[in-house]
Amino acid sequence: MVELRDRTWEKYTSFIGHLDKFNLKLSFDEIDVEMAARIRNYLTKCRLPRTSATRIRLTI
């Protein structure tokens, strides 16, 4: 079993909040590399503070 640290949960919670602002109907498991780029562009245009959500790195 993987043990998640408190900081990991903070980053996840923050990202989910940004994701809801980007598209409320989009679920976490629907995110691919292209969608990650769209979310990053959206956050950049909104000029939200730099968080883990703006540093999305996906390995597929």
pLDDT value of position 26: 83
Which tokens hold the place of 24? 């409320």
* Confidence (pTM): 0.53
pLDDT value of position 47: 65
Domain ranges of the chain: 25-60
Chain segment 3-55, per-residue pLDDT in tens: 777 888 888 888 888 888 888 888 778 888 998 888 888 888 876 555 555 45
Is 60's pLDDT higher than 50?
A: no
pLDDT value of position 43: 81
3-state secondary structure of 39: helix
Those residues whose C-beta lies under 8 Å from the C-beta of residue 19, and which sit 6 or more positions away, are 26, 28, 31, 39, 53
d(CA 38, CA 10): 22
pLDDT value of position 39: 84
